Chains A and B, each alone.
Chain A
Amino acid sequence: MVSIRFHGRGGQGAKTASRIAGTAAFLEGFTAQDSPLYGAERRGAPVSASTRIDRKPIRERGVIARPDLVMIADASLIPDPSARVLEGVDERTVVFVNSPLAADQARAQFSIPGRVTTLDLTGIALEHFGKRGAISALLGAVAGRLAGLRQGSIREAIARELTDLGLAPPVIERNQTVAARCFEAVQPVELDVGARQAMAVAQLRAPTYEPPTKGTAGITAGPNSAIRSMSGWRTFRPVLNPELCNGCWLCFANCPEGAITIKPDGKPAIYYPHCKGCLDCVEVCPTDAMTVERETEAANNT
């Protein structure tokens, strides 16, 4: 059995990529299983999905704890402990990272124990689609290649899954073409799907509840969410050119996050740890003082 675990941010297409890989395998006569992990599917939030492919019926269920292949759609998730991207990864696991870095560099920079291969899917998508959007087809095609699936079945799987999402035929065709390029471009690494040590049986512990006399859970501190960094959510960042800013405050008014503050001189300033990269400020700025830059390094670097 080949077990593939996908990680991405809501909106990036990790869930659909997992479906594409599963459907392609099914078309080749395999038994396949693909399922997203239910949770907050909010755009930008960490999401994961599991795909299992086998010749025999698959009895395993649930999240893949010891993956053969991990597909990382967004490198900024790696240091995020809540995303659990590297869980169950050991030196035998193959890890794909969507990154412009070379495999060695990515392996070192993100301290990945497994064997790494990379390709800059975001860059390729930007180049061919001209805007940010889901990279599901590209990620699915790369996963298929690494899992040893055929290009033809991946092409067909992309058509089926994207049609289900209501995409128009020309868009689907473009996705297929770009996905085929990624299929060819990625450096394959042989999967090691040999006998894997079974996980130790998990012991379930009954939680110890506090007596109700102690009260219910409450947050008594002030607005403490501001201590969290949202930097890892961004694929792009808005950049303010103060020379072009006319001080109208539209960006300040329209930032859903409150990441833009007004300085004592009446001009706005972006505080990056609070910015999720929605780019609404770029859209509302009447003087083009806000421009867009692609994030290059991993998360939490503001």
Chain B
Amino acid sequence: MTWEPHIFKELHQIPREEHVFPGTPLCAGCGGLESLRLASKVLGSRVVYINAAGCFTNLASFPFTPLDASWLYTTMGSAPAGAQGVRDALDVLIAKGRLPKDEDVKVVVLAGDGSTYDMALSSTSGAITRKLDFYYFCYDNEAYGNTGVQLSPSTPYGARTTTSPCSVQHPAGSTQEKKDIFEIWRAHRPPYMATVSPRFPLDLEEKFARAADYPGPKLFLAFAACPTGWLFDPAYTPDVARLAVECGIWPLKEAINGEVTHTYVPKRRPVEEYLKLQGRFRHLFEPARQEEAIKHIQDRVDSYWEKVKA
């Protein structure tokens, strides 16, 4: 059951047209922006982005916007509720004949992991239960990035953030496991869900293209390598994103009506290769190797893929 792309088979099929333009104040090398730019090439310009507070709020800072689509700003906890309002308004316009059906607009929530895994969970759950027809695009930089990189429920075990420093009590840094938001969404049985990485652009474009066939809630979890929060040189954004997938840490998968398919099965390089690239894991290697913590991370990855095979 190897997964095959139907539409995007080679890089030259990536649309040349841009919908997220340059000139944003986001960091040089932002992996989240890279994903959004690629996603927008399939989503197009007939979109309303409902953006929960986070780094991406800086995209459109008055009087500038990089988007050729519409944009609405909400609190961290309420983007799916905002999406419901916009969707309802569009439906009313269509029903009244004031908006032709073929000029309909896609409703896309744009939110960080702080919103997605944490503050907006109840609002999201409600929207999925109501079968709201929307996309949920989470750029996952595994921390509350915009406010200076604090621990979020998405921060993985062993990562150092400003609120999970490596300390005498907690030499590994963060001691929590990354919350499995994919499974939380899947328990709601939405029609379409996927994880993506910008370093696998065809996989990303293909998933956005496929999702268009599924009315209802659609989740995209985008790996957002964050040079500022994860402490690596911006030039390594593509390497960090590639190794996250190749080491098995960021599985590329999709779930249609809850049925999971892994869209790429990596040979699985040792997780060390991924960890070593990033300052947020440096304390696991220097001044002394924290064997147990590294093994813990490797074991979690191994047991995930064991279950995939079973």
Binding site for B on A (CB under 8 A): 10-11, 40-45, 131-133, 166-169, 217, 219, 221-228, 230, 233, 248-250, 252-259, 261-262, 266, 271, 274, 276-280, 282-284
Given A40-B58, A278-B28, A283-B238 in contact, is the A261-B21 Cβ separation under 8 Å?
A: no
6 nearest A-B residue pairs (beta carbon): A225-B23, A278-B29, A274-B22, A276-B28, A279-B235, A256-B34
Distance (Å) between the CB of A291 and the closest chain B CB? 13
B68 touches A223 (CB 8 A): yes
Cβ-neighbour of B11 out of A45, A222, A225, A248 (below 8 A): A248
Q: How large is the interface on B (under 10, 10 to 19, 20 to 34, 35 or more residues)?
A: 35 or more
| Among B109-117, B188-196, B226-234, B247-255, the stretch in contact with A | B226-234
Interface hits, B89-141 → A, CB 8 Å: none
User: Is B38 part of the contact surface with A, judged by Cβ < 8 Å?
Assistant: yes
B37 touches A258 (CB 8 A): yes
Using an 8 Å CB-CB cutoff, how does the interface string of B10-54 with A read, 1 for contact, 0 for none? 011010101111111111111101100110000000000000000
User: Is B266 part of the contact surface with A, judged by Cβ < 8 Å?
Assistant: no
A278 touches B237 (CB 8 A): yes
Instruction: Please indicate the chain B residues that have their CB under 8 angstroms from the CB of A249 in the complex.
Output: 11-12, 14
Total cross-chain contacts (CB, 8 A) = 144
Instruction: Please indicate the chain A residues that have their CB under 8 angstroms from the CB of B26 in the complex.
Output: 42, 256
B237 touches A256 (CB 8 A): yes
B34 touches A223 (CB 8 A): no
Cβ-neighbour of A252 out of B14, B21, B23, B30 (below 8 A): B14
Given A41-B228, A43-B227, A253-B201 in contact, is the A278-B23 Cβ separation under 8 Å?
A: no
A225 touches B37 (CB 8 A): no
A131 to B232, CA, bound (A): 12
B233 touches A131 (CB 8 A): yes
Distance (Å) between the CB of A49 and the closest chain B CB? 14
B22 touches A225 (CB 8 A): yes
Distance (Å) between the CB of A40 and the closest chain B CB? 6
> Of all chain A residues, which has the CB nearest B11?
A249
Given A43-B228, A230-B23 in contact, is the A256-B33 Cβ separation under 8 Å?
A: yes
A255 to B33, CA, bound (A): 9
A43 touches B239 (CB 8 A): no
B28 touches A283 (CB 8 A): no
A234 to B309, CA, bound (A): 46
B58 touches A258 (CB 8 A): no
Can you give 22 A-B contacts (C-beta < 8 A)? A40-B25, A42-B27, A42-B58, A44-B28, A133-B233, A166-B165, A168-B286, A219-B65, A223-B67, A226-B21, A226-B66, A252-B14, A253-B38, A253-B198, A254-B198, A254-B199, A257-B33, A258-B37, A261-B16, A278-B235, A279-B235, A283-B235
User: Is B160 part of the contact surface with A, judged by Cβ < 8 Å?
Assistant: yes
Distance (Å) between the CB of B36 and the closest chain A CB? 9
Given A223-B67, A253-B201, A259-B22 in contact, is the A166-B11 Cβ separation under 8 Å?
A: no
B234 touches A279 (CB 8 A): yes
User: Is B279 part of the contact surface with A, judged by Cβ < 8 Å?
Assistant: yes
Distance (Å) between the CB of B8 and the closest chain A CB? 11
Binding site for A on B (CB under 8 A): 11-12, 14, 16, 18-31, 33-34, 37-38, 55, 58, 60, 62-68, 148, 160, 165-166, 198-199, 201, 227-228, 233-239, 279, 282-283, 286-287
Instruction: Please indicate the chain B residues that have their CB under 8 angstroms from the CB of A167 in the complex.
Output: 282
Instruction: Please indicate the chain B residues that have their CB under 8 angstroms from the CB of A250 in the complex.
Output: 11
A133 to B231, CA, bound (A): 11
B63 touches A219 (CB 8 A): yes
A274 to B19, CA, bound (A): 15
Instruction: Please indicate the chain A residues that have their CB under 8 angstroms from the CB of B21 in the complex.
Output: 223, 225-226, 258
> Of all chain A residues, which has the CB nearest B199?
A254
Distance (Å) between the CB of B121 and the closest chain A CB? 27
A249 to B202, CA, bound (A): 12
> Of all chain A residues, which has the CB nearest B149?
A41
A43 touches B27 (CB 8 A): yes
Instruction: Please indicate the chain B residues that have their CB under 8 angstroms from the CB of A233 in the complex.
Output: 28
Distance (Å) between the CB of A283 and the closest chain B CB? 5
A40 to B147, CA, bound (A): 8
Instruction: Please indicate the chain B residues that have their CB under 8 angstroms from the CB of A284 in the complex.
Output: 199, 238
Instruction: Please indicate the chain A residues that have their CB under 8 angstroms from the CB of B228 in the complex.
Output: 10-11, 41-43
Distance (Å) between the CB of B240 and the closest chain A CB? 10
A221 to B234, CA, bound (A): 31
Instruction: Please indicate the chain B residues that have their CB under 8 angstroms from the CB of A219 in the complex.
Output: 60, 62-65
> Of all chain B residues, which has the CB nearest A263?
B16
Instruction: Please indicate the chain B residues that have their CB under 8 angstroms from the CB of A166 in the complex.
Output: 160, 165-166, 279, 282-283
Instruction: Please indicate the chain A residues that have their CB under 8 angstroms from the CB of B19 in the complex.
Output: 223
B16 touches A225 (CB 8 A): no
A280 to B238, CA, bound (A): 6
Instruction: Please indicate the chain B residues that have their CB under 8 angstroms from the CB of A228 in the complex.
Output: 23, 64
A248 to B18, CA, bound (A): 18
Distance (Å) between the CB of B54 and the closest chain A CB? 12
A282 touches B235 (CB 8 A): yes
